[in-house]
Amino acid sequence: MSQTVRFTRNAANVFFHILTQCNLQCRHCYINPQQHGRQRLSLATIQNWLQTLARRAPGANLVILGGEPTLHPDLPQVVKSARALGYGSITIDTNGYLFNDILDRISPREVDFISFSLDGATPATNDPIRGQGSFKVCTEGLRAARRKGFRTSLIYTVSRMNLEDVIDMPELLRELKVEHFFLQVIGLRGRSANGREEAAPDLQVSREQWEAQVLPTARRAAQAGIRVTYPKVYLSADQAFECAGRVADNYFVFPNGRVYRCPLCEDYPLHSLLFDDDCLRPTGPINEVDLFELDIPEGCVMNKLIQPLNLVYRPDGTPACKIACCLLKEELPSIGIANSDQA
């Protein structure tokens, strides 16, 4: 039975991009150097910002990202500092190349999950999206992490480029002994937003495709013993819309100091907080917070502004359904033999 994971201030999340540099050039990469900078933060700055955020949101879950975060030579010290500051959980999101011998420089006790990104069940599907040879490197990296006792998750960004492969993922996840499977929908941000109007029909899957192909796969993965999380996307008539920007406590931190509360705003200078001289300060209007206050029949304001082609209207002009906040998730607990028992 799927369960909607509600927003709560008790579950603050910090998504910390410690650099924007990456060895890959994925077709759907959301990193936008013009908006997010090209800096690699120093260890001292990362530690200062982590401390500020830990004071503001004690016990927050921390996700360390890039770019590719393992390119940062001080990542092990970042992890240790975050542990010492009391972050509730620590996850490293990686493309699987695992630079700087990261698996030898941190221990499974220090991180909760290493999360790998893969966008196909085969090299033939994954590599045209993420780069030649990336399927092999990523799956080998994941196996190496499992052998060393790390808990692993896998992120699959669903688009029309890899929709057909998603049905083969439960078997691959089982073979790789992945414990948590995250399905994401491709967003029109960063590189995928180039030529935005043309990109939408090319990349985004329809509601019918999502319900016919993705959701049954999520259920099969759960039956195979894997915990599954995926975005809610569409709200039924009886479900109330909520904007996470109003009710939740999320921080999307970029190396140029911008801190967003909504990931859909990241392509624009709409951040509501800014690290300035290591102090976290609110920004002036107009920023994302002004958008969170708007009530529209379509649900999410940012979705309507940047992804209008995924809205469907009835003949009378009313929206056929509301689009959920992109941060609202459904979760399927593992209901088979859990992969965590098989390390």
Is residue 18 at the binding interface for ligand SF4, with CB under 6 A as the rule? no
Q: Measured between alpha carbons, how far is 70 from 55 in angstroms, rounded to an integer? A: 26
**Of 107, 101, 103, 61, the residue nearest 82 (C-alpha):** 61
User: By CB under 6 A, is residue 262 in contact with ligand SF4?
Assistant: yes
Number of CB atoms found within 10 A of residue 157's CB: 23
Instruction: Compute CA distances 300 → 93, 240, 294, 313, whole Å.
Output: 26, 12, 9, 15
Q: How far is the CB of 53 from ligand SF4 (least distance, A)?
A: 18
Give the Cα-Cα-Cα angle 231, 314, 5 (nearest 5 degrees).
Answer: 20
Is 102 among the residues that bind ligand SF4 (CB under 6 A)? no
CB of 66 to ligand SF4, least distance (A): 5
Nearest to 53 by CA among 197, 196, 252, 206: 252
CB within 8 Å of 301: residues ≥ 6 apart: 243, 291, 292, 294
Among residues 35, 95, 159, 339, the one that binds ligand SF4 under rule CB under 6 A: 95
Contact stretch for ligand SF4 (CB under 6 A) within 6-14, 173-181, 279-287, 320-328: 320-328
Q: Which stretch binds ligand SF4 (CB under 6 A): 99-107, 135-143, 239-247, 314-322?
A: 239-247
129 near ligand SF4, rule: CB under 6 A:
no
Q: How far is the CB of 31 from ligand SF4 (least distance, A)?
A: 5
Question: For 163-206, where are the alpha helices, taking DSSP H only?
Answer: 169-176, 196-203
Residue number with CB closer to ligand SF4 (54 or 301): 301
Q: Which is nearer to ligand SF4, 26 or 169 (CB)?
A: 26
Q: What are phi and psi of 307, to 5 degrees?
A: -135, 50
Query: In this structure, are strands 227-231 and 234-235 parallel, antiparallel, or unpaired?
Result: unpaired
Site string for ligand SF4, 176-205 (x = CB under 6 A): ------------------------------
Residue 262's alpha-carbon distances to 93, 159, 270, 303, in angstroms, are 19, 21, 9, 11
Residues facing 13 on adjacent strands: 61, 250
Report the alpha-carbon distance of residue 63 to residue 202 in Å, rounded.
30
In sequence order, the β-bridge partners of residue 281 are: 274
> Which is closer to ligand SF4, CB of 53 or CB of 233?
233
Q: Which position among 193, 205, 292, 307 is part of the footprint of ligand SF4 (CB under 6 A)?
A: 292
Q: Which stretch binds ligand SF4 (CB under 6 A): 62-70, 75-83, 220-228, 270-278?
A: 62-70
Nearer to ligand SF4, 49 or 97 (CB): 97
Q: Does residue 173 interact with ligand SF4 by CB under 6 A? A: no
Residue 243 interacting with ligand SF4 (CB under 6 A): yes
Q: Give the Å distances, CA to CA, from 324 to 152, 235, 242, 243.
A: 28, 6, 7, 8
Stretch that binds ligand SF4, among 102-110, 200-208, 219-227, 238-246 (CB under 6 A): 238-246
Among 15, 49, 66, 116, binds ligand SF4 (CB under 6 A): 66
Which of the ranges 42-50, 55-63, 78-86, 294-302 carries the binding residues for ligand SF4, by CB under 6 A?
294-302
Provide the binding-site residues for ligand SF4, judged by CB under 6 A.
22, 24-26, 29, 31, 66-68, 95, 243-245, 262, 264, 291-292, 300-303, 325-327
